[in-house]
Amino acid sequence: MKRTKKKKKSNTWKIKQHRDQFFKKSKVLGYRSRAAFKLIELNKKFRFIKKNSKLLDIGAYPGGWSQVSSKIITQGKILSLDTIKIERIKNVEFLKCDFLEKQSKEQIFKFFGEKIDVILSDMAANTTGNKSLDCIRTNQLCSDVVQFSSKYLKPNGVLVSKLFMGEDFLEVKELAKSKFKKVQFFKPEASRDESKETYLHCTILKTL
């Protein structure tokens, strides 16, 4: 019975994917994931990726956001990080690592040679089947990215990160507001209607 139920759920997911306009467009345009369209929308609204940006993509696998960034950044630098290796993307350097590890931070700084213009994170915690727990774990990743960004971004740099609308949403919001002067939220059209995800857009670091 369990196997049948699991198989039925998997088939339902596949049907949804094939009916999804963004899934179809990603295949036609060669993007590695439908998430690419989320970044396209975010950048259209906030216009934070420039041709000379120094950009860090955290949790980059499978590479959709790095692909979008590489089409815009022609005179800057792009570094993608993940614990899972991604296939090469033109004009994008990849580092297989955990961004919170000391050695990783040293490698990031060595690559850019200075502080960063844009930090992106579309990370979500591995699902456990417990939606509340998954939400908390993903929002903890977002909090980690906020803390990291406050140390590695330029004063007028930009952070864009996924988070979920859940019981700890306000905690993440307050953390972001303690580090940045401008904090906004936006849910792209490419986000599924049933998803609780939204995106945090932060800029202008507060000085101590």
Residues 126, 147, 116: CA angle, nearest 5 degrees: 100
Is there a catalytic annotation at residue 115?
A: no
How is the chain classified by DSSP, letter by letter?
-HHHHHHHHHHHHHHHHHH-HHHHHHHHHT-SSTTHHHHHHHHHHH----TT-EEEEET-TT-HHHHHHHHH-SSSEEEEEESS-----TT-EEEES-TTSHHHHHHHHHHHSS-EEEEEE---PPP-S-HHHHHHHHHHHHHHHHHHHHHHEEEEEEEEEEEE-STTHHHHHHHHHHHEEEEEEE--TTS-TT--EEEEEEEEEPP-
Residue of 9, 102, 162, 179 marked active site: 162
Q: How far apart are CA 95 and CA 65, in angstroms?
A: 15
Task: Give me the active site residues, please.
Answer: 162
